[in-house]
């Protein structure tokens, strides 16, 4: 049971206290008659979805359960409540209408209580604001695009959507783990099914057939040995497709008030990687068949809207996690704790969910870590601008006239970019440089053969981020009111639009940024190169088209990003245990000692310094990063070895078990540190350690390893902090003394003054609009959001 103190100021209360005796009558009534207590167990009582919720009624001593009466909307639902084996009176209230429902609980001789329950459609939204349109439902089998009719994805479900919110009938299937040692641990239920591996570790199970001869058993972490049979539930919530998998005996019942004992009450939530903003319904990216967790009794949960590749709206993502947890509670029973896992975009979603809605995730295990999406976008946009600038005649002429070799030119680029070499910016440009494009585009990329020169090629095939037919999306001339497909556009309900335009408010900004500042000060580039670069760098306009002018953020978007916790807050993240598995992915051309280079474990974008940025935010906000553990490695690229993933899972399990056992009145941040197990400490595996078996705890030794050392980013070489949490800098006057020991001429200074007429970044000051988060916010009333109010409480009758 969570301490009430932890959640008193934050968003999600898995147990919402609405007890009259415990929380006060709320009406100032002095009646001394004993009162009923009520706890809404599924979620906050105003954030219910799908028409049902798990409720606990606490009767005063001596009150008979037989006299209990529970009504909702005038209906008698008393039969749903009973004294359970755990000694508590609980029941699932179902049939809730959309909107406000009044729950009334009464018993002879005690004061009755009423509670307002606000139910929302299972297709959402609850607090993320108006849903974007169009939204293309998945179909039982994928359908190709035809004219203006978009293609669809295979849902993995047998029936089609029943409404415009893409609700599809829920289905369950059973699988079993085979005893075959040489099995393949892959997704056992792909779409189409014909692509399933016949040697899969998990095979279809028929409850009505004879037990398979190769049926394995497993012993859970509670010591219970059971047949290794898994029930996989698939359905739709919040317009995404979800999977829930858990050990299950098909011959026995399972209700929310009487779960089967093979489930340990723990939940592993898997977050998918990458990032994108398609207007389509997908199946989740990952595999629910996670043996390390299922075998121990965990439930595995995922939803396509919590996969970053399919949804770049972080508020919508967090809301979806909340709705999934509510559904689990209503259907399977109370959750003991929730552990997150995921790489890259999956790390973004873990960090931002813990920041946007503290308490939603009890502990997280980010790999290939980024603190959040907004500040990651800074590096993407900087790299796009730099890759383009390096191919402009002004820069090329400087390099040619300087007589530099190609290696010297690339050394200058690396010094400006802050990266190990020039290819990391190529990678950002190629993979995500088009993510903010609102309409159709032809991608401009640096082909692998051109990584040395940085020459840009425009691809011949157009695309759009909505994944809709080309003639249906936004075009500033031919279709100005068509759906816009950029990252900010996908979350326009959060950001809002610039008044009297179709443009979503945007946080991208590079006004005052002196690209290559540290490279110039350290002598890696000349004054002429430094000045020229800043003259030609430019920015992008509202349609993400390259412009000679610098990009300018919208002030309202900046405030929203910080206030809503979308820029991950170190203060809030201190309330969540973090095991950060940091691999190496700093280059497209550098070769690791093991000889690994290129796909699949190298993309060039998951840079080591990102984990240190997360740590810096914790240090700045709390004076400590005691709740953040970093495990570094390199030989696997950015993907941790299975043995490390298992160690992290088991260590986080111990950490959260300790945390839940602490019922003191200490703050949650203090509890996180106190609960930390001895196994949770910083270490690295040196890149020269072929066996990857020796844990090195000396940070200096780890940092000296060329494949473990953190590099930097373009903003850091421009003078910005490694925490990289300043979206738009405040400005100060240009000062020649700032370039010491380099001497800058009056001519160069005058040219810089023309580039920066309002001044240059003052990195010692907070960013424009930077502020403490308001913790959890709702956007149901419109863009920009407001802090959510207190959870509903019961009132006496």
What is the tens place of the pLDDT at every residue in 210-249?
999 999 999 999 999 999 999 999 999 999 999 999 999 9
Q: What is the pLDDT of residue 33?
A: 83
Chain segment 618-665, per-residue pLDDT in tens: 999 999 999 999 999 999 899 999 999 999 999 999 999 999 999 999
Please compute the mean of the pLDDT values over residues 241-268 and round it to a whole number: 98
**Going from the N-terminus, what domains does the chain have, and what CATH number goes with each?**
4-121 (2.60.40.10), 125-335 (no CATH), 345-368+568-709 (no CATH), 374-554+730-761 (no CATH)
**Span of 30-44, 233-247, 443-457, 693-707 with lowest mean pLDDT:** 30-44
Residue 605 has pLDDT above 90, yes or no: yes
Bridge-based pairing state of the strands 266-270 and 299-303: parallel
194 CB-near residues (< 8 Å, 6+ apart): none
Largest CA distance in the chain: 95
Residue 765 has pLDDT above 90, yes or no: yes
Residue 721 has pLDDT above 80, yes or no: yes
Q: How many CB atoms lie within 10 A of CB 552?
A: 15
Q: What is the pLDDT of residue 31?
A: 65
Cα–Cα distance for residue pair 530/520, rounded to 1 Å:
6
To the nearest whole percent, how much of the chain has pLDDT over 70? 96
Chain segment 1-18, per-residue pLDDT in tens: 333 333 333 444 444 433
Note if the bond before 600 is cis, omega within 30 degrees: yes
Beta bridge partners of 90: 56, 82
Q: What is the pLDDT of residue 185?
A: 87
Output Rg (C-alpha) for the chain, integer angstroms.
Answer: 28
Residue 322 has pLDDT above 70, yes or no: yes
Average pLDDT, the chain: 94
Please compute the mean of the pLDDT values over residues 455-479 and round it to a whole number: 98
Q: What is the pLDDT of residue 8?
A: 34
Give how far Cα 590 sits from Cα of 74, 513, 587, 634, Å: 69, 29, 6, 12
Chain segment 518-558, per-residue pLDDT in tens: 999 999 999 999 999 999 999 999 999 999 999 999 999 99
Q: What is the pLDDT of residue 4?
A: 33
Q: What is the pLDDT of residue 487?
A: 95
Residues in the chain: 797
Residue 317's closest CA among 287, 265, 361? 361
Chain segment 283-317, per-residue pLDDT in tens: 999 999 999 999 999 999 999 999 999 999 999 99
Residue 463 has pLDDT above 60, yes or no: yes
Residue 364 has pLDDT above 70, yes or no: yes
The full DSSP string for 463-500 is E-TT---GGGS-BTTTBTTSPP-SHHHHTHHHH-B-TT
CA angle 323, 326, 332 (to 5 degrees): 135
| Burial tier of 405 (Cβ tally within 10 Å: 0-12, 13-18, 19+) | exposed
Please compute the mean of the pLDDT values over residues 381-391 and round it to a whole number: 98
Q: What is the DSSP letter of 184?
A: B
The full DSSP string for 411-459 is HHHHHHHTSSSTHHHHHHHHHHTTTT--S-EEEEE--GGGTTT---EEE
Please compute the mean of the pLDDT values over residues 682-705 and round it to a whole number: 96
Residue 699's closest CA among 707, 708, 691, 690? 708
Note if the bond before 787 is cis, omega within 30 degrees: no
Cα–Cα distance for residue pair 264/259, rounded to 1 Å:
10
298 CB-near residues (< 8 Å, 6+ apart): 246, 264, 266, 267, 268, 290, 339
To the nearest whole percent, how much of the chain has pLDDT over 90? 90
Cα–Cα distance for residue pair 647/693, rounded to 1 Å:
13
């Amino acid at each position: 049971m969570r301490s009430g103190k932890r959640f008193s100021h934050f968003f999600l209360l898995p147990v919402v206290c609405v007890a009259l005796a415990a929380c006060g009558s709320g009406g100032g009534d002095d009646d001394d008659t004993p009162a009923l207590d009520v706890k809404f167990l599924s979620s906050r009582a105003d954030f219910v979805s799908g028409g049902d919720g798990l409720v606990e009624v606490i009767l005063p001593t001596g009150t008979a359960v037989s006299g209990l009466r529970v009504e909702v909307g005038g209906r008698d639902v008393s039969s749903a409540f009973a004294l359970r084996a755990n000694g508590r009176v609980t029941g699932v209230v179902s049939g809730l209408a959309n909107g406000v429902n009044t729950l009334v609980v009464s018993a002879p001789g005690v004061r009755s209580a009423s509670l307002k329950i606000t139910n929302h459609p299972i297709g959402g939204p609850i607090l993320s604001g108006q849903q974007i349109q169009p939204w293309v439902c998945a179909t039982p089998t994928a359908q190709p695009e035809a004219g203006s009719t978009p293609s669809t994805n295979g849902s993995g479900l047998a029936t089609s959507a029943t409404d415009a919110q893409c609700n599809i009938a829920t289905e369950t299937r059973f699988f079993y783990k085979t005893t075959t040692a040489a099995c393949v641990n892959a997704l056992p239920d792909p779409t189409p099914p014909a692509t399933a591996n016949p040697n899969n570790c998990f095979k279809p199970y028929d409850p009505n057939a004879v037990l398979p001869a190769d049926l394995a058993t497993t012993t859970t972490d509670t010591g219970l040995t059971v047949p290794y049979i898994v029930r996989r539930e698939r359905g739709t919530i919040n317009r995404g497709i979800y999977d829930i998998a858990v050990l299950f005996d098909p011959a026995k019942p399972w209700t929310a008030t009487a779960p089967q004992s093979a489930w340990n009450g723990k939940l592993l939530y898997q977050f998918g990687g990458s990032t994108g903003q398609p207007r389509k319904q997908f199946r989740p990216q990952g595999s629910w068949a996670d043996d390390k967790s299922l075998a121990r009794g965990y439930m595995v949960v995922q939803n396509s809207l919590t996969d970053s590749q399919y949804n770049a709206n972080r508020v919508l993502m967090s809301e979806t996690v909340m709705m999934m947890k509510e559904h689990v509670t209503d259907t399977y029973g109370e959750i003991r704790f929730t552990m997150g896992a995921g790489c890259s975009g999956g790390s973004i979603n873990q960090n931002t969910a813990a920041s946007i809605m503290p308490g939603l995730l009890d502990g997280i295990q980010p790999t290939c870590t980024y603190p959040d999406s907004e500040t990651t976008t800074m590096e993407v946009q900087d790299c796009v601008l730099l890759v383009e600038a390096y191919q402009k005649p002004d820069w090329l002429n400087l390099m040619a006239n300087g007589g530099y070799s190609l290696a010297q030119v690339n050394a200058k680029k690396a010094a400006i970019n802050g990266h190990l070499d020039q290819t990391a910016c190529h990678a950002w440009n190629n993979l995500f440089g088009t993510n903010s494009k609102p309409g159709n585009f032809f991608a401009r990329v640096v082909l692998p053969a051109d990584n040395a020169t940085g020459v840009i090629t425009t691809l011949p095939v157009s695309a759009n981020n909505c994944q809709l037919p080309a003639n249906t999306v936004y075009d500033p001339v031919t279709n100005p009111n068509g759906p816009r497909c950029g990252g900010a556009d996908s979350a326009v309900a959060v950001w809002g639009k610039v008044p009297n335009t179709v443009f979503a408010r945007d946080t991208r900004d590079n006004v005052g940024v002196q690209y290559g500042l540290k490279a110039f000060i350290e002598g890696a580039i000349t004054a002429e190169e430094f000045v020229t670069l800043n003259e030609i760098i430019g920015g992008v306009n509202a349609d993400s088209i390259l412009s000679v002018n610098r990009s300018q953020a919208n002030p309202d978007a900046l405030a929203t990003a910080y206030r809503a916790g979308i820029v991950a807050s170190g203060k809030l993240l201190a309330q969540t245990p973090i095991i950060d598995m940091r691999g190496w992915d700093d280059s497209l051309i550098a070769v690791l000692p093991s000889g690994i280079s290129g796909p699949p474990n190298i993309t060039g974008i998951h840079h080591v310094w990102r984990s240190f940025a997360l740590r810096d935010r914790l240090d700045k906000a709390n004076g400590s990063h005691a709740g953040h553990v970093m495990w570094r490695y390199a030989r696997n690229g950015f993907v941790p070895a299975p043995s490390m993933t298992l160690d992290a899972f088991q260590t986080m399990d111990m950490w959260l078990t300790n945390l839940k056992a602490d019922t003191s009145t200490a703050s949650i941040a203090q509890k996180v540190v106190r609960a930390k197990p001895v196994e949770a400490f910083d270490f690295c595996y040196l890149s020269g350690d072929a066996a990857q078996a020796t844990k090195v705890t000396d940070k200096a030794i780890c940092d000296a390893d060329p494949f473990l050392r953190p590099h930097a980013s373009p903003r850091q070489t421009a003078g910005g902090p490694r925490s990289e949490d300043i979206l738009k800098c405040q400005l100060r006057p240009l000062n020649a003394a700032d370039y010491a020991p380099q001497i800058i001429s009056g001519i160069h200074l005058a040219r810089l003054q023309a580039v920066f007429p309002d001044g240059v970044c003052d990195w010692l000051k907070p960013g424009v609009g930077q502020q403490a988060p308001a913790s959890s916010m709702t956007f149901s009333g419109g863009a920009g959001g407001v802090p959510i109010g207190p959870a509903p409480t019961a009132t006496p009758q």
